[in-house]
Amino acid sequence: MTIIPLASERTPTMNPSAFWLRETSYWLPLHFPLSAWNTHAPFAAWLIDVLRPASVVELGTHMGFSCFAFAEAAARLDHPMHIHALDSWEGDDHAGFYGDDVFNSVRAIADRDYPESIRLVRGWFSQSRPLFEDASVDLLHIDGRHGYEDAVQDYEEWRSVVRDGGVILFHDIAERGRGFGVWQLWEQLERDHPTFTFHHGHGLGVMAVGDVEAEPLRRLFAADEPTSDRIRGDYERLGAEIDLRGGFAPISEELHHSRLHASQLEDDVARLEQEAEELRAAMAFLEQRVRDLESSTSWRVTAPLRAARRVLPHRD
């Protein structure tokens, strides 16, 4: 499938001092399932680029946008990476409840486009925790149930899987109503850890675990307020363009399916024309056989007999 770049990606003008922007920051996602996470795709690609994680764990995949964004960035970078996407795929109070169609949709894309990198783990987070060893994960994305107690439980249970030098992401840190409480946990973590906060797209918190190894990440966490504002502004603008493109994604997908349908119809027409041509040839052959028979000697000799049979009365 052709990957359409962002408008900015076609003629990127990188400022060497803008360490927070790379070519990856301008990439357009390949998949646009419905998501509250889509405006963070530019930062996700940048993060995969600078962190180069070998192992990613995502707590809360839902329709798969963030998972696919991570996987697509790694694929385009030709970077080997495994993503363990954990979810019950049943829904909750905030995301709503749904049937197996959502899980089946995510699995179909994962199996088709990222069979070597995405592993779907269906079940409750606590049940899946024993599957992962401590310090075995480079990037942990926490985006499960959004109540304060739920967020604390997820963090406390899964913090130890992240190696020293890794990163933890928290989504929805800007949401303060409707029972959301991730913001409370985030305010507590900011006091004792290197962090960076995005306010757009419902908020995304970026937290370092231990000593940060990648130089761009060290600079991100150490950025002063004016630089932080520039970083947030740039990624909010890039995210807005992703959001705009995402709005056209269903139309593009429908157009793609329409073209496939038209192609199938063209194939059907070609097949029917071929069959019609074969029937015409068969009819021509039979007509010639009839003409040959009618002009034969035996046909002429038996003509009086055929005529007599037509005039004689029929007897049962």
Q: Give residue-wise pLDDT tens across range 135-146.
A: 999 999 999 988
pLDDT at 91 over 90: no
pLDDT at 70 over 70: yes
Confidence at residue 299, expressed as pLDDT on a 0 to 100 scale: 55
Confidence at residue 3, expressed as pLDDT on a 0 to 100 scale: 43
Task: Determine contact, residues 229/194, Cβ cutoff 8 Å.
Answer: no
Confidence at residue 308, expressed as pLDDT on a 0 to 100 scale: 58
Confidence at residue 294, expressed as pLDDT on a 0 to 100 scale: 66
Name the band, by pLDDT with cuts 50, 70 and 90, for residue 273: confident
Q: Which residue has better confidence, 117 or 98?
A: 117
User: What's the DSSP call for residue 274?
Assistant: H
Q: Which residue has better confidence, 11 or 217?
A: 217
Is pTM beyond 0.85 here? no
Region 29-34: mean pLDDT is 90
For 114, the 3-state DSSP assignment is: coil
Confidence at residue 1, expressed as pLDDT on a 0 to 100 scale: 37
pLDDT at 11 over 50: no
DSSP codes, 26-65: GPPPS---S-S-GGGHHHHHHHHHHH--SEEEEE--TTSH
Lowest mean pLDDT among 7-11, 13-17, 174-178, 231-235: 7-11
Confidence at residue 107, expressed as pLDDT on a 0 to 100 scale: 96
Place of tokens 């905030």: 94
pLDDT at 257 over 50: no
The 10s digit of each residue's pLDDT in 220-255 is 999 999 999 999 999 999 999 998 887 654 444 444
For 143, the 3-state DSSP assignment is: coil
Confidence at residue 243, expressed as pLDDT on a 0 to 100 scale: 86
The 10s digit of each residue's pLDDT in 167-198 is 999 999 999 988 899 999 999 999 999 999 99
Nearest one of 139, 204, 208, 200 to 170, comparing CA atoms: 204
Confidence at residue 302, expressed as pLDDT on a 0 to 100 scale: 65
Confidence at residue 178, expressed as pLDDT on a 0 to 100 scale: 83
**Residues 6 or more apart from 62 whose CB is under 8 A from it?**
35, 87, 89, 95, 102, 143
**Residues 6 or more apart from 138 whose CB is under 8 A from it?**
51, 53, 54, 55, 56, 162, 163, 165, 166, 167
Lowest mean pLDDT among 145-149, 214-218, 286-290: 286-290
pLDDT at 128 over 90: yes
Confidence at residue 93, expressed as pLDDT on a 0 to 100 scale: 57
Lowest mean pLDDT among 99-108, 136-145, 180-189, 292-301: 292-301
φ, ψ at 70 (rounded to 5°):
-60, -50
Distance CA 140, CA 167 (A): 6
Percent of the chain with pLDDT strictly greater than 90: 65
pLDDT at 27 over 50: yes
Amino acid making up residue 177? G
Name the band, by pLDDT with cuts 50, 70 and 90, for residue 6: low
Q: From the centroid of its chain, how far is CA 267?
A: 29
Starting at the edge strand found earlier in the chain, the sheet holding 195-198 runs: 118-122, 82-87, 55-59, 137-142, 162-171, 204-208, 195-198
Please, which residues bridge with residue 195 across strands? 207
Region 141-153: mean pLDDT is 95
